[in-house]
């Protein structure tokens, strides 16, 4: 072999090996932009405030741990409009990364322009939700069940599971994704459910101003050195220190495991001070009675005493997920604070946590300064890293 031939062969091999280095799968580089080595979804570097106690609430089923390839498939499915009957709506149409995986409408718009029954929910750290159940009315028993429901919903995406499997099977660009995630190319609704659930669970939030603060004090009741005076005041209102007549006002429901009986009693050792989603649906006195279109958890269970109870949602990224509540009735965080301060109504099934010692709706009667501070505190829960993270963004080229 002449020296020239060896030289050209060498160049040839270099070109070949460079080419296969370009992306996840060159045949589909005009469809999606995925890295050859998948992003790290399965093993993020949690801060130590995500203690064993938080992990103890992990609702990940044994047969569906997050894998990097599984979550990658889930990411593509999550952003794919082929998941709806007329190719107009993806999960991400109603769960936008920039809005903390919620949308900015009081009711979301489905594949034929129809409105959803309830307000889209933002999410982060769902694997650690102690409530375990999903939807405003807790009607989905597991996340794996939940993710298949919008696909079959007559307003949202309008497919049957059979249609779904046929559609996804006909799209060649899924073949390598299913193979990597599950060992073969065969598409099933079970695999779609698992991959979507892996992707949704991989949406972890632990990079907020609040997280930096809690890492320094390990105690929500102590001033955070990285907070402004206003944010620390807001934190005191949130945890009940500024409203001793309503001890532990917001933490009681939104951070239930960190609730002390009195703020001077230390919080339980290793308590969850980071997840910010409640364990139980509750009734916060938004309406005066049960004559409303949506009675939530009570209507789902068909138990009157739970009428008007709704999921206590995560407050992470709450600044980004407006409008608020199960029906999107409040446009701003200020309106929410006003509700808890002066607006709670005497619903017959009002939560015990929302009543004073005479059984009347409890109004926090916050000062203007305290109300503004509470809003500033909630804004410390915004995770800019998460909402800008490529690994949770739209992988499609256009
Ligand atoms: C047309 C808008 C729309 C689409 C499309 C949509 N969702 Fe939703 N999503 C909603 C609404 C509205 C809710 C609240 C529904 C309820 O509680 O009744 C919700 C709730 C959820 C929740 C529950 C969160 C919690 O804390 O309980 C998850 C998770 C979720 N959606 C994931 C998905 C996934 C995955 C897809 C795609 C397969 C998807 N959604 C498609 C609007 C949508
Ligand atoms: C009794 C338990 C309870 C208490 C106490 C409580 N909340 Fe809530 N919170 C809920 C429930 C339940 C919802 C959802 C209600 C609905 O949509 O019907 C909610 C909704 C919210 C929302 C809107 C979430 C969203 O995604 O739309 C915010 C923000 C909020 N609460 C902040 C607070 C603050 C601040 C306090 C203290 C002043 C507080 N909560 C006290 C249970 C509680």
Share of residues in the chain with pLDDT > 90 (%): 77
* Ligand 1 atom 26: residue of nearest CA: 134
Given pLDDT bands bounded at 50, 70 and 90, which one contains residue 17?
Answer: very low
| Ligand 2 mean position, distance from CA 220 (Å) | 18
All residues at 6 or more sequence positions from 136 whose CB lies less than 8 Å from its CB, including other chains? 118, 119, 121, 296, 310, 311, 313, 326
Q: How far apart are CA 46 and CA 68, in angstroms?
A: 16
Asked whether residue 104 carries a pLDDT value surpassing 50, the answer given is yes
Q: Which atom of ligand 1 is nearest to the CA of 199?
A: 35
pLDDT(37) > 90: yes
Residues in contact with ligand 1 (CB, 6 Å cut-off): 78, 83, 89, 91, 93-95, 108, 110, 116-118, 120-121, 123, 134-137, 146-147, 150-151, 156-157, 196, 200, 311
Asked whether 366 and 374 are in contact (CB, 8 A), the reply is: yes
Q: Which two tokens stand for residue 90?
A: 């993806």
Q: How confident is the model at residue 219 (pLDDT cuts 50, 70, 90)?
A: confident
Q: Would you say the CB of residue 318 lies under 6 angstroms from ligand 2?
A: yes
pLDDT above 90 for 22: no
pLDDT digits (tens, 9 = 90+) for 238-255: 988 877 665 558 988 998
Q: Is the pLDDT of residue 259 over 70?
A: no
Q: Whose CA is nearest to atom 35 of ligand 1?
A: 147
| Ligand 2 near 312 CB (within 6 A) | yes
pLDDT > 70: percent of the chain? 90
What is the rounded CA–CA span in Å between residue 161 and residue 171? 16
Distance 384 CA to ligand 1 centre (A): 22
pLDDT in tens, 349-374: 999 999 988 999 999 999 999 999 99
Average pLDDT over residues 291-319: 97
C-alpha 200 – ligand 2 centre gap (Å) = 23
Q: Which ligand is nearest to the CA of 275?
A: 1
- Which of the four pLDDT bands, split at 50, 70 and 90, describes residue 2? low
Number of the ligand closest to the Cα of 310: 2
Q: What pLDDT, on a 0 to 100 scale, did the predictor assign at position 241?
A: 82
Ligand at shortest distance from the CA of 95: 1
Q: CA-CA distance, 195 to 78, in Å (whole number)? A: 9
Alpha-carbon distance 293 to 311, whole Å?
Answer: 17
- Residue owning the nearest CA to atom 9 of ligand 1: 120
């Amino acid at each position: 072999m002449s020296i020239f031939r060896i030289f050209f062969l060498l160049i040839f091999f270099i070109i070949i090996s460079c080419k296969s280095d370009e992306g996840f799968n060159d045949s589909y580089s005009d469809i999606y932009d995925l890295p050859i080595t998948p992003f790290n979804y399965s093993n993020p570097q949690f801060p130590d405030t995500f203690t064993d106690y938080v992990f103890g609430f992990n609702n990940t089923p044994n047969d569906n741990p997050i894998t990097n390839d599984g979550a990658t498939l889930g990411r593509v499915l999550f952003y794919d409009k082929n998941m709806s009957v007329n190719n107009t709506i993806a999960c991400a149409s109603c769960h936008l990364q920039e809005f903390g995986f919620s949308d900015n409408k009081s009711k979301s718009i489905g594949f034929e322009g129809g409105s959803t029954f309830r307000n889209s929910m933002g999410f982060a750290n769902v694997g650690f939700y102690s409530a375990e159940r999903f939807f405003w009315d807790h009607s989905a028993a597991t996340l794996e069940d939940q993710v298949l429901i919008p696909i079959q919903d007559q307003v949202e995406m309008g497919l049957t599971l059979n249609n779904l499997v046929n559609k996804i099977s006909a799209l060649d660009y899924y073949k390598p994704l299913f193979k990597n995630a599950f060992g073969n190319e065969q598409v099933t609704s079970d695999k779609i459910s698992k991959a979507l659930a892996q992707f949704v669970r991989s949406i972890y939030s632990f990079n907020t101003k609040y997280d930096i603060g809690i890492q320094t004090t390990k105690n929500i009741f102590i001033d955070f050195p990285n907070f402004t005076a206003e944010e620390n005041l807001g934190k005191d209102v949130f945890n009940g220190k500024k409203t001793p007549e309503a001890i532990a006002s917001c933490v009681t429901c939104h951070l239930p495991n960190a609730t002390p009986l009195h703020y001077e009693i230390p919080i339980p050792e290793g308590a969850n001070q980071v997840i910010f989603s409640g364990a139980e649906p509750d009734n916060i006195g938004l309406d005066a009675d049960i004559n409303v279109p949506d009675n939530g958890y009570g209507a789902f269970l068909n138990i009157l005493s739970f009428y008007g109870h709704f999921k206590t949602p995560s407050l992470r990224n709450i600044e980004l997920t407006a409008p608020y509540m199960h029906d999107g009735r409040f446009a701003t965080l200020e309106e929410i604070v006003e509700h808890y301060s002066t607006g709670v109504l005497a619903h017959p099934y009002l939560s015990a946590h929302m009543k004073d010692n005479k059984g009347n709706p409890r109004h926090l009667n916050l000062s203007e300064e305290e109300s503004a501070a509470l809003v500033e505190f909630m804004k410390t829960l915004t995770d800019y890293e998460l909402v800008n993270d490529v690994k949770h963004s739209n992988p499609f080229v256009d």
